[in-house]
Amino acid sequence: MKIIVTGGAGFIGSNFVYYELNNHPEDEIICLDALTYAGNMETLAEAQKNPQFKFVKADIADRTAVYKLFEAEKPDVVVNFAAESHVDRSIENPEIFLQTNVIGTSVLLDACRKYGIQRYHQVSTDEVYGDLPLDRPDLFFTETTPLHTSSPYSSSKAGADLLVQAYHRTYKLPVTISRCSNNYGPYHFPEKLIPLMIINALADKKLPVYGDGLNVRDWLYVEDHCAAIDLIVRKGKVGEVYNIGGHNERANIDVVKTILQELGKSEDLIEHVTDRKGHDRRYAIDPTKIHEELGWLPVTKFEDGIKKTVQWYLEHREWWEHIISGDYQNYYQDMYGKKEVLEYSRA
C-alpha cells in the first residue's frame, strides 16, 4: 500500500510515520509537509534512511503541487495530519488556520476525487465538540455530540470535518474521521503544555499556568493514537467518525505538578497567568465505539507515559534546543511577555 502522510514532519504525523514503517514494513510512506515552524526534518532523520520512505515539501493548499504529487504517485491512502494546530496562535492570527485547515483539506479531497483513492482519513480533534462543565464528570463526548466550537482553531477543524463528510455524501469519497483528545510524547513542539513545562522547568524558568489551572484535558500517549488511526484506516467503516481517548483526565495544574515532581523541581516555579480567551474547561472522550468496533484500547497509562515523555526530553536535548534557539524566543516573548501574573493560593 502507498500512503501519503501529510504533516508528517510535525508531532503526531512523525510518530505515525515511524509507527507505519515499523509495523507495516511492506508499505510505502510519502510524507507531504510544508515545513512550517512546526515541521522539523531532524525528526524525520531516521525515516529518511528507510527506502520505503520519501519526503516531499509542499503546501496542502497548493493545488498544482498536490495534483502533481497524486498524478506521479497514485497513492492508495491519504492520512491528513497537516494543520495549524495551536489554539493560542489561532487566537492571535486566525487566517492561516482557515487557509491550511479548511482550504488545504478541500484541495486534498479534490485530489482524491480526481485521481481516485481507497481511503482518505482526516485527523480531527475532540475540540470540535466544544467543552464540558467541570461539575458534570458523568458527561463525555460521543461521536453524535453536536459540533460546538470555541476557538478559531477548533472552528477550522470542524469546518474541515464537515467538508470531509460532504465529500463522502455527495461524491461517495471513501473517508473516515478520527477525533482525538490531547496527545503527548516524543517530538511534541514546545509551544504545547507538556513540553513547554518540561523545558521551562529544566531551565528553572517560571511555568505559566493559564487562569486557575483547573481546566481538564484527556491525555493520550501519541503511540496509542497512531495505533488507533492505523486500525481505522485499515479496518474502519467508510463514512464513519471514531472518537479516540483513554479516560486519562487531568487538571492542568496536576499535570504541571507531576512534571515538576519527575524533574525534582520546586512548585515555586508555577506562576498563574492571564487566562486564554474562551478557554475550554474540560475535554473528555467516550471511546466506546472504537473499542467495540475495532478492539482498540490505549495501552499507556498517564503515570507511565509522562515518565517516558520527561525521559525523552532529557535524552533529546539537542532536538528541542535547536527549536528554542530560533524564532521560538520571539514567539515566547510575544505570547507570554504581556501576560499578567495572577494570585492563586498554592493549596
Listed ranges 17-25, 79-87, 112-120, 315-323: which one lies at the site for ligand NAD (CB under 6 A): 79-87
Which helix (H) or strand (E) is 184 found in, with range? strand 183-184
| Residues with catalytic function | 126-127, 153
Could you tell me whether strands 216-218 and 249-251 are parallel, antiparallel, or unpaired per DSSP bridges?
Answer: antiparallel
Question: Is the Cβ–Cβ distance between 28 and 54 less than 8 Å?
Answer: yes
Sequence-distant (6+) residues with CB within 8 A of 255 are 193, 194, 197, 217, 219, 306
Residue 35 within binding range of ligand NAD, rule CB under 6 A:
yes
Residue matched to cell numbers 465538540: 129
By beta-carbon proximity to ligand TYD, the closer residue of 113 and 339 is: 339
- Among the listed residues 4, 28, 30, 33, the single contact to ligand NAD using CB under 6 A: 33
| Burial of 37 from C-beta contacts in 10 A (0-12 / 13-18 / 19+) | middle
190 near ligand NAD (CB under 6 A): no
Alpha helices in 148-221 (DSSP H): 152-171, 193-202
Q: Do 164 and 175 touch, CB atoms closer than 8 A?
A: yes
Written as one letter, the residue type at 250 is R
For the CB of residue 346, give the shortest distance to ligand NAD in the complex, in Å. Answer: 28
13 binds, among ligand TYD, ligand NAD, none (CB under 5 to 8 A by kind): ligand NAD
Judged by CB under 6 A, the residue of 90, 182, 215, 243 near ligand NAD is 182
The alpha helices in 172-266, defined as continuous H runs, are: 193-202, 222-235, 252-263
Nearest to ligand NAD of 44, 310 (CB atom): 44
Regarding 61 and contact with ligand NAD (CB under 6 A), the answer is yes
CA distance 336 to 268: 18
Q: Name the grid cell of 58.
A: 509542499
| DSSP 8-state class, residue 221 | E
Question: How near is the Cβ of 307 to ligand TYD at its closest, in Å?
Answer: 19
Shortest Å, Cβ 86 to ligand TYD: 6
- Out of 151, 183, 200, 309, point to the residue binding ligand NAD (CB under 6 A): 183
Our CB check for ligand TYD shows the closer of 111 and 199 to be 199
Write out the residues near ligand TYD by the rule CB under 6 A.
87, 182, 192-193, 196, 208-210, 215, 217, 252, 276
Contacted by 59, from ligand NAD, ligand TYD, none: CB < 5 to 8 Å by type: ligand NAD
Binding residues for ligand NAD restricted to 82-101, rule: CB under 6 A = 82-85, 100
Q: Are strands 207-210 and 220-221 parallel, antiparallel or unpaired?
A: unpaired
- Please name which of 114, 84, 118, 120 lies closest in space to residue 102, comparing C-alpha atoms: 84
Residue 123 interacts with ligand NAD (CB under 6 A): yes or no = yes
When CB distances are held under 5 to 8 angstroms depending on the partner's kind, the choice from ligand TYD, ligand NAD, none that residue 34 binds is ligand NAD
Residue 81 binding ligand NAD, by CB under 6 A: yes
Q: What gap in Å lies between CA 165 and CA 64, rounded to an integer?
A: 24
Q: Which residues bind ligand NAD (CB under 6 A)?
A: 6-7, 9-13, 33-36, 38-39, 59-61, 81-85, 100, 104, 123, 125, 157, 180, 182-183, 189
